[in-house]
Amino acid sequence: MFGASREEYHIYQHIKREFDREAWGATGRFFAGISAKNLAIKEATRLQEEADSGIEYSVQIHLFGINGNHRPCKIKIWRNGVFYDIPKDKFQDLSKSTLEKKGDAKSKNSLQLAFR
């Protein structure tokens, strides 16, 4: 999906507070593989059903290989029973464009590089 080299689905917990913005953080549960999306949403739904009031869960997809700095691109796909649309037009495989640019450049020998 999106030309990513690796996809992981992470579950996040959101705690609503009266005096400040909500606190949130990773639960430490993530899924990878063919049915990872369905498993992550199923687990988040189970956690949501068992949670106290004021606690919500969400699922994010982490796409590795899209950004050039080895950090994942994170997109929220589900929260508290609501599915979010993924803006597919905003993501592209940057590794292909980098390879195409390298292939378009003329090869130079060592003399041309030394006297530029």
Structural domain includes residue 86: yes
Decide: 94 and 67 in contact? Cβ < 8 Å: yes
Of the candidates 33, 39, 8, 13, which has an alpha carbon nearest to the alpha carbon of residue 24? 13
Structural domain includes residue 94: yes
pLDDT at 41: 94
Domain extent, residue 64, equals 6-114
Structural domain includes residue 1: no
Give me the number of domains the chain comprises: 1
Segment-wise mean pLDDT, segments of 10 residues, the chain, 116 residues: 78 88 86 92 94 92 80 88 78 48 51 50
Structural domain includes residue 92: yes
pTM: 0.68
